[in-house]
Amino acid sequence: MNKTISVLVFTLIAIVSVTLAATPDEWGSRTIYQLLTDRFSQTVNNSQPCGNLQGYCGGTFQGVEAHLDYIQGMGFDAIWISPVVTNTPGGYHGYWQQDIYTVNEYFGSEDDLLNMIKACHERGIWVMLDVVANHVGPVNYDYSTIVPFDSDEYYHNCTTCPQYCTIDDFTNYPQVEECRLSGLPDLDQDNQFVRSTLQAWIKNMTAFYQFDGIRIDTVPEVKVDFWREYNDAAGVYAVGEVYNGNLTYVASFQGPVDGVLSYPMFFTLRSVFGQQQSMNQIQSTFQSYQQLFSNISLLGTFIDNHDQVRFLNEQTDIELYKNAIAYVLMAQGIPIIYYGTEQGFNGASDPNNREPLWTTSFNTNTPLYQFIATINAFRANITEDLTESQIQRYSDNTFYAFTRGNAFVALTNGGSNQGQTSRTITYHPYLEGTTICNIFYPTEDCIKVVGGSFTVYLDNGESKIYYPLN
């Protein structure tokens, strides 16, 4: 089909489509499984590893659709997939866009994508699309193959940038907005064609494909006024990537977009559980969250993703990992679990943290798969409690506890060699005589509120989640 006709048809179909996307607040009850489309499942899987993690490994939309049972078995009701548009050579991850009007043929066809989304929706699984509006693929200064931004007038001219036009100071915000990230050509959203095209594109994408939400790449690299318009045009919940640990800076982007990835808490959790630093850091970070963010419930909480060395690469103690995962799944915010977590993947930096999942034969019996499934099943039964704010109940160097409604979460960073540790809890939401039981051992581990308090025992670095008996 002629490219102009194809774009026109795409636009006209999108205009008459009605998105089924839920509101940002409705996203607050979802649990997201992040996957890289190229690494999750091939259409026909083998058990062989990928020979080159820096290139395409063969994952497809059909592969994702074929393994929705695996995702749903863990209790996830949303997935975050890679950017879907055609990329420049080697762009298996999706972030090197070349033609925003065509689907990446390595992942499958337009129909394959539509069928995958339909299959998800039939199961009650929402689909979040990863999108890029800051840059295009690595073509240096020859834009002739980039559709539709095929001229240098659509890019920042680098007059304010250092040598090679590449960002070298991420505290220099004009440089961050106008220069190239890792040498990738930087789109000029002040150019009216660029601005209107990107906004029309995201509106059409969400309407035509019925995406339920979007994750926005590299948010600080574009002026915030653009993101307000882009988020509105998308018409769905948007969570933005602000890869920074500065709380005030990160919080400033909530408003221009609905929510942001919770990077400051990510760094805190890695320190607390990965390096076994004081758990009082969680208290400090969360108190700052309460002061600085307009809506903590719309932030994306995580302990691993495709840009970070996997937790288990730096800390091999599985109990510490379970504690971190329990925090992610139960804390205020939208939990995001990176594919492979459930299999204990321990890859180092990119691309080694982007392992193919099919080598595991989609094993559903691993301890982490079962651990995640247990917590997600519990979450599904306490939806009212999860509308409540996170309230800290105890904090010291090696123990942290909080509640969401009547759910009581007890964590430690002592690790599997810790032995037994205990804390007596006097600040809690329960009436005298209430019996609360551990969701992992509901018939064996129950405690009763007596004299206004109860004592929690954690053995060998375990985490516990308690809930009152009916």
pLDDT in tens, the chain (470 residues): 344 434 444 444 444 344 455 789 999 999 999 999 999 999 999 888 999 999 999 999 999 999 999 999 999 999 999 999 999 999 999 999 999 999 999 999 999 999 999 999 999 999 999 999 999 999 999 999 999 999 999 999 887 788 778 999 999 988 999 999 999 999 999 999 999 999 999 999 999 999 999 999 999 999 999 999 999 999 999 999 999 999 999 999 999 999 999 999 999 999 999 999 999 999 999 999 999 999 999 999 999 999 999 999 999 999 999 999 999 999 999 999 999 999 999 999 999 999 999 999 999 999 999 999 999 999 999 999 999 999 999 999 999 999 999 999 999 999 999 999 999 999 999 999 999 999 999 999 999 999 999 999 999 999 999 999 87
C-alpha to C-alpha distance for 328 and 465, rounded to whole angstroms: 13
Q: Which residues contact 6 (CB under 8 A, 6 or more apart)?
A: 101, 102
C-alpha to C-alpha distance for 154 and 188, rounded to whole angstroms: 6
DSSP result, 328-389: HHHSSSEEEEETTGGGT----STTTTS--SGGGTT-S-SHHHHHHHHHHHHHHH-TTGGGSP
- Per the annotation, the verdict on 142 as an active-site residue is no
C-beta neighbour count of 447 within 10 angstroms: 18
Phi, psi of 50 (to 5 degrees): -80, 135
DSSP 308: S
C-alpha to C-alpha distance for 4 and 7, rounded to whole angstroms: 5
What Rg value do the Cα atoms of the chain yield, rounded?
23
> In degrees to the nearest 10, what's the CA dihedral of 300, 303, 304, 310?
170
* Sequence-distant contacts of 48-54: CB under 8 A, at least 24 apart: 48/359, 49/355, 49/356, 49/359, 50/355, 50/356, 53/351, 53/352, 53/354, 53/355, 54/90, 54/351
C-alpha to C-alpha distance for 66 and 430, rounded to whole angstroms: 44
C-alpha to C-alpha distance for 178 and 451, rounded to whole angstroms: 62
**Is 123 labelled a binding residue?**
no
**Is 190 labelled a binding residue?**
no
**Of the listed 99, 217, 342, 462, which one is catalytic?**
217
For the whole prediction, is pTM greater than 0.85?
A: yes
DSSP-based helix, strand, coil % in the chain, nearest 5: 35, 20, 45
Cα 254 versus chain centre, distance: 16
**Of the listed 241, 258, 304, 319, which one is catalytic?**
241
Residue 311, SS3? helix
How big is the CA angle at 364 (ends 359 and 366), to the nearest 5 degrees?
A: 85
pLDDT for the residue numbered 19? 43
**Is 306 labelled a binding residue?**
no
Residue closest to 58 by CA, chosen among 114, 118, 108: 108
Q: Which two tokens stand for residue 210?
A: 């019925």
User: Residues 412, 421: contact at Cβ < 8 Å?
Assistant: yes
Ranges of beta strands (E only) in 40-84 are 78-81
C-alpha to C-alpha distance for 210 and 19, rounded to whole angstroms: 5
C-alpha to C-alpha distance for 450 and 435, rounded to whole angstroms: 9
**77-105 burial: b if 16+ Cβ within 10 Å, else e:** bbbbbbbbbbbbeebbbbbbbbbbbbbbe
User: Residues 193, 201: contact at Cβ < 8 Å?
Assistant: no
Q: Which two tokens stand for residue 298?
A: 């719309």
**Is 67 labelled a binding residue?**
no
- Per the annotation, the verdict on 190 as an active-site residue is no
C-alpha to C-alpha distance for 85 and 102, rounded to whole angstroms: 6
Q: For strand 334-338 and strand 435-438, is the pairing parallel, antiparallel, or unpaired?
A: unpaired
User: Residues 32, 335: contact at Cβ < 8 Å?
Assistant: yes
> In degrees to the nearest 10, what's the CA dihedral of 359, 361, 364, 369?
10
**Is 96 labelled a binding residue?**
yes
